[in-house]
């Protein structure tokens, strides 16, 4: 299985990205390209991780890093939800993923907090901008 990623959900303020691969596979979620809607313009994106779901074979592991800083090193099967706060380390950097020693699937729930154009957030009256 080669490294593959796809968007399960993509809105103006949220992206849910599924990544899969096998031992030795690496890939990057490019904030300027991979989670940008066609109607959005990207300035300096800020993207926080709000939840992580992972499924690893017996001996496999997933490492998530941003700008060389390890965010998480995952084994087995699990789920992380920060309930009221987010993982914002290096949140203006792309998300690098390394899968080692077997098959693995990772689902990241991301909050697009800034940098995706004037229509990113709704106003109090429901207007965009």
What are the residue ranges spanned by the domains of the chain? 4-114
**Do residues 52 and 63 touch, judged by C-beta distance below 8 A?**
no
Nearest to 21 by CA among 60, 77, 58: 60
pLDDT computed for residue 129 by the predictor: 46
pLDDT computed for residue 101 by the predictor: 94
pLDDT tens digits for range 63-102: 999 999 999 999 999 999 988 899 999 999 999 999 999 9
The strand order across the sheet containing 14-21 reads 4-10, 14-21, 104-114, 46-56, 77-81
pLDDT computed for residue 40 by the predictor: 87
In whole angstroms, give the CA distance from residue 72 to residue 40: 29
Fold topology of 4-114:
Jelly Rolls (2.60.120)
């Amino acid at each position: 299985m080669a490294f593959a990623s796809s968007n399960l959900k993509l809105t103006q303020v949220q992206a849910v990205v599924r990544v899969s691969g096998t031992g030795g596979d690496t890939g990057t979620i490019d904030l300027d390209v991979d989670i940008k809607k066609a109607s959005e313009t990207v300035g300096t994106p800020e993207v926080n991780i709000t939840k992580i779901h992972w499924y690893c074979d017996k001996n496999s592991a997933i490492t998530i890093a941003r700008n060389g800083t390890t965010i998480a090193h995952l084994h087995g099967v699990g789920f992380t939800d920060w309930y009221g706060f987010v993982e914002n380390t290096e949140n203006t950097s792309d998300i690098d993923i390394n899968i080692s020693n077997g098959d693995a699937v990772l689902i990241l729930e991301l909050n697009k907090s800034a940098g995706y154009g004037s229509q990113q957030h709704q106003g109090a009256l429901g207007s965009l901008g």
